[in-house]
Amino acid sequence: MSHPLKLRSDVLVDGAPIPARYAFGRIGDDGPFAFSDNISPPLAWTGAPAGTRSFVLICHDPDVPSVGDDVNQAGRTVPADLPRVDFSHWVLVDLPAGLTSLEEGSHGRGVVARGKPPGPAPQGRQGLNDYTGWFAGHPDMAGDYAGYDGPAPPWNDARLHHYIFTLYAVDRSSLDLPTPFTRADVLAAIAGHVLAQATLTGTYTLNPALR
């Protein structure tokens, strides 16, 4: 008898806050923001369906402000009802069909200025996350950000952010995507090839009023 695909973690509870060690940013000791440990969380899964040739893992935040005028501006607030867009935090493909877990720190440990390179990873191949665009043009941080880079929502955002980890079981052993690739490239490549999927959602905020 088959079992549905399930995604779990020893450190993340579905619907609960993500511990700061797995975030890109935290509330600072002397200000609203400081870099955090930025460690990729451990994940495990069971119930892969017959015919699974590989796995794809994506983490994204659907609560990112669509307009950045008020973001991280003292004396201002990003309104909760502002329209929101997606922001990718982890794009990982070609995980072997026999793999059932990822260890803590396997695809990220610490904030790396100018990012980690896309391409082959300890497991699978890692695509670009959206810090690539966020830091574009920054004199000290601009670069290609691949692998895992965790939460760092605006510290003045009135909306709680959600981080959705989605595991896809696909019927292709490789997506054959050229490096670098993005979440949009992956979603296009797996269309019609997904046998099952499972999600795990955590929350995070740097707004003291929401904590």
Q: Which domains does the chain have, with CATH numbers?
A: 6-210 (3.90.280.10)
**Which value, in Å, is the radius of gyration of the alpha carbons in the chain?**
17
14 CB neighbour count, 10 Å cutoff: 12
Contact between residue 114 and residue 128 where contact means Cβ atoms under 8 Å apart: no
Give the Cα separation of 130 and 205 in Å (integer).
Answer: 18
The H or E element spanning position 187 is helix 183-190
Q: What confidence score (pLDDT) does residue 211 get?
A: 82
Q: What confidence score (pLDDT) does residue 2 get?
A: 60
From first to last of the 211 residues of the chain, give the pLDDT tens digit: 467 999 999 999 999 999 999 999 999 999 999 999 999 999 999 999 999 999 999 999 999 999 999 999 999 999 999 999 999 999 999 999 999 999 999 999 999 999 999 999 999 999 999 999 999 999 999 999 999 999 999 999 999 999 999 999 999 999 999 999 999 999 999 999 999 999 999 999 999 999 8
Q: What is the pLDDT of residues 145-168, one digit of tens each?
A: 999 999 999 999 999 999 999 999
Q: What confidence score (pLDDT) does residue 3 get?
A: 72
Give the Cα separation of 37 and 12 in Å (integer).
Answer: 16
Q: What confidence score (pLDDT) does residue 72 get?
A: 97
Give the Cα separation of 5 and 162 in Å (integer).
Answer: 21
Whole-number percent of the chain with pLDDT over 70: 99
